[in-house]
Structure 1
Amino acid sequence: MAANKSLHIVMYPWFAYGHMIPFLHLSNKLAENGHTVTYILPPKAITRLQNLNQNPNQITFQTITVPQVDGLPVGAENVTDIPDITLHTHLATAFDRTRPEFESIVESIKPDVILYDVAYWVPEVAAKVEAKSVAYSVVSAASVSLSKSMTDKMGTPTKPLTEEERKKKFAQYPHLIQLYGPFGEGITMYDRLTGMLSKGDAVACRTCREIEGKYCQYLSTQYNKKVLLTGPVLPEPDVGATLDAPWAEWLTQFKPGSVLFCAFGSQFFLEKDQFQEIVLGLEMTKLPFLMAVQPPKGCATVEEAFPEGFAERLKNRGAVTSKWVQQPVILTHPSVGCFVNHCAFGTMWEALLSEKQLVMIPQLGDQILNTKMLADELKVGVEVERGDGGWVSKESLCKAIKSVMDEDSEIGASIKKNHENLRITLASKDLMANYMDSFIKDLQALVG
């Protein structure tokens, strides 16, 4: 195939918005460069993501049906429909059972390349139509490589582990426990991950060498494959975007750099008591704050989970909402000075490209490793210390925030300098454009 020939690419991500949205951002970039994309998704996801399709003439959404399986809530099509993380294994089972319909779609359009993640069986489907398969990791290369490295060192169990065995074996690496839990019918997350990376024709990562070069090299060595890098693939900042009036008016009443913005994404649900401790920690800083979070588990609204007397004390100094907010726009507001977040990979990139101080409370596996990378290696933010059982106390949250927000803090000044230097590097338009150009050339070379 000529080096500049247009490709037809199929996208098939895991049914979670944290995966589907990055796949769509990549689709937009590929379409901008003249390539055709067929993006396969369940109906509800298509409805929600339609407005993010910047190139409808080049990107076609193709519906696929999520079959009903035992244990899966009726009508569930993605992880947002399933607040209980222990039930995600049933969605993985349903996801795998989409294979016959997926094969039919692929056979009818005969693409050049298929990008996938959780569907480790895609390479077998691709081979039937002589397409190339590329495992595209939308989580950090660090989380993928370190999970592999640590797990290999500890040895892969030959039989399912009891809960007690799992806790003992992985006490040192708590984020790895879930790797050996079931994630689909007769398969663990670990087997799914290694199958995804080992079976495809290439591995691609949504990252760049400037922050994850050594991890990308490790993956290349471990799987004996070239690792293709896309860069973070974030949409271009909408310079004309304006913040919704209520929040714009609320934020503007505070002095520049004084407001704490706290958000944990749309797919994570805090326990009620942990939610209460976090809002009390924000209050304890005596700084104005805006918190965007899902209602805690067992609560219909955030208000019903408030600690006693909190709503009265909140008055005009703080706001807590479960409604969707314009996170990227809020992060550009001059009144916001600190971003308290869970360090999911997409949020991590938004945080790095912002000018705000970063305080991190990771919740799930890859978020823990993302946080370690930012706090311990790059030193561009701080992690909130946890107590017994992973508990975040109001005191530890307040301490972390003050360490970066107090004007005379040496830690805060050092972190701000490190962050700004990295932000300038990552914000270079040429840097990101060069990653995309190289990625497309790599795909064309793979197809041949």
Structure 2
Amino acid sequence: MPEFQKSKLNIAMFPWIAMGHITPFIHVANGLAQRGHSVTILLSKKPMLKVAHHNLYPNLIKFHIVSVPQVEGLPDGVETSADIDINPFNPLAVAFQTMSTEVNAVIRGLKPDIVFYDFAHWIPKLAAEVGFKTVCYSIVCASFSAITIVPARHFPRDRPLTGEELLEPPKGYPSSTVVPRGHEAYALSTIPLACGTTTFDVVISTAMHGCDAIGTRTCRELEGPMCDYLSEQYNKPVLLSGPVLPQSPKGMLEEKWDTWLSKFKAKSVVYCAFGSETTLTMNQFQELVLGFEMTGLPFFVALLKPKGANSIEEALPEGFLERVGDRGVVYGGWVQQTHILKHPSVGCFVSHCGFGSMWESLLSDNQIVLVPYVADQIFNARLLAEELKVAVEVGRGEMGWFSKEDLCKAVKCVMDEGSEVGNMVKRNHAKWKKTFTSAGFMDNYMDNFVEQLYHL
């Protein structure tokens, strides 16, 4: 059907109540609204107020407020995963499941053509009653979605795997490197993002089995075979939206940081950040900053204060500030990461390899060092370090801890002049960046994504 004859889509979205899920859904909504489609996003009030500024098309994208009910064990005022320490019994997930009654009523009233969801695995049942199509939209890499095909009961739940012992991937899984190892497999088996004792993989696989199509925030150049595998396993189409990145922020880098960075020669500063929700233990925080001290390079570390500390300054190792002097900054507040990564003095980005940071690193001109912590970060890191070979991952001991020596070694091997590894990842990175920044690359993915939505 010619484009001008197609009616515009009426879409509803209900993401899992974590900022790392809500924000990507809004970015997808922006891509859809840019092409004239209307989107209603179901959110509780607290996160809505935090993300409303991301809505670039308020005439087409509307927020509908739904409430997070009080359930046993859930403190007052908790509306997102950032508001609570997640434990094996996850009351926030119980509350999320309880939201189904209100959410279903809202969706019935909206009469959408398509509903996007991720963890709300009950929505396909409503779709069968009301008559809309469903997209289970995954905000993580296809590799992570694919590995959840392995039932949690097959993971070693009684002990961490040791050393380089690998989790055996599902039959036909198209990669021998993008898999968890050691302590990671044990951690993945106990992710408490479900209702009560229901495990994470059961929630994800149920959500994907029930939908009309699986949507994923990746591109074929990165994960083509993995997307095909996912489609085969669930016997349904996998729609690729591309990374759906936010618009580049406007304005200038804050003057105090620009002044400090400009004191150092081009490409010499190491910048480190682990996102807005990663909180290190005191031990790992201190090993990290001591590792940067060991490199002898100037560094800028922007992290949350570690567990058990009242402030960043309190957590720093004894004598650290005196030894480092003006060569290093360890800061506990928000910084303009995109601006910092573009500063001429910055030459290396050390991150947890969350999805946003992964793409910021790929689209930068900086060397990439990875310290993944949870879930999809592990798969993102293996994809960059093992498959694309554009980054170096920091080594870990058997229980998943890294030492200052591990951190220093990884940074030095990409930053030292004449380093064979450093030159290799730099060449590969430049090649992939050229692909991702080519004219129309991102827009073409969203155009094709919309076309596939019509085919549903």
Q: TM-score of the superposition, structure 1-length normalised? A: 0.93
Q: Distance in 2 between matches of 1:13 and 1:176?
A: 26
Q: Distance in 1 between matches of 2:43 and 2:310?
A: 29
Q: What residue ranges of structure 2 are gaps of 5+ in the alignment?
A: 168-182
Match in the other structure for 1:28: 30
Match in the other structure for 1:237: 248
AA at the equivalent of 1:222 = Q
Match in the other structure for 1:172: 166
Match in the other structure for 2:171: none
Q: Distance in 1 between matches of 2:256 and 2:19?
A: 26
Instruction: Please tell me whether residue 290 in structure 1 is matched to residue 300 in structure 2.
Output: yes
**SS at 1:267's partner residue?**
coil
Matched length: 436
Q: Distance in 2 between matches of 1:30 and 1:349?
A: 21
AA at the equivalent of 1:282 = F
**SS at 1:315's partner residue?**
helix
- Measured after TM superposition, the shift of residue 75 of structure 1 is 1.2
- State whether residues 359 and 381 of structure 1, in contact with CA within 8 Å, keep that contact through their aligned partners in structure 2: yes
- Measured after TM superposition, the shift of residue 360 of structure 1 is 0.3
Match in the other structure for 2:224: 213
Match in the other structure for 1:228: 239
Aligned to 2:309, which of 287, 296, 299? 299
- State whether residues 148 and 205 of structure 2, in contact with CA within 8 Å, keep that contact through their aligned partners in structure 1: no
Q: Distance in 2 between matches of 1:203 and 1:10?
A: 15
| Percentage identity across paired residues of the two chains | 47
Match in the other structure for 1:117: 118
AA at the equivalent of 2:212 = D
- Measured after TM superposition, the shift of residue 228 of structure 1 is 0.3
**SS at 1:443's partner residue?**
helix
- Measured after TM superposition, the shift of residue 328 of structure 1 is 1.6
**SS at 1:287's partner residue?**
coil
Match in the other structure for 1:43: 45
**SS at 1:86's partner residue?**
coil
Q: TM-score of the superposition, structure 2-length normalised? A: 0.91
Aligned to 2:390, which of 380, 384, 408? 380
CA offset digits 1:37-66 (Å, max 9, x no partner): 101111111111111111111111111111
- Measured after TM superposition, the shift of residue 87 of structure 1 is 5.9
Instruction: Please tell me whether residue 435 in structure 1 is matched to residue 445 in structure 2.
Output: yes
Mapping of 1:385-400 within 5 angstroms? 385-400=395-410
- State whether residues 281 and 394 of structure 1, in contact with CA within 8 Å, keep that contact through their aligned partners in structure 2: yes
Q: What residue ranges of structure 1 are gaps of 5+ in the alignment?
A: none
Q: Distance in 1 between matches of 2:398 and 2:237?
A: 41
Mapping of 1:45-444 within 5 angstroms? 45-82=47-84, 84-86=85-87, 89-148=90-149, 151=150, 156=153, 164=158, 172-173=166-167, 174-181=183-190, 182=192, 183-238=194-249, 240-444=250-454
- Measured after TM superposition, the shift of residue 88 of structure 1 is 7.3
Q: Distance in 1 between matches of 2:52 and 2:68?
A: 19
Cα 1:319–1:122, aligned 2, differ >3 Å: closer, same or farther? Answer: same
CA offset digits 1:164-193 (Å, max 9, x no partner): 26769x963343434543421342101001
- Measured after TM superposition, the shift of residue 297 of structure 1 is 0.9
CA RMSD of aligned residues (A): 2.0
AA at the equivalent of 2:219 = C
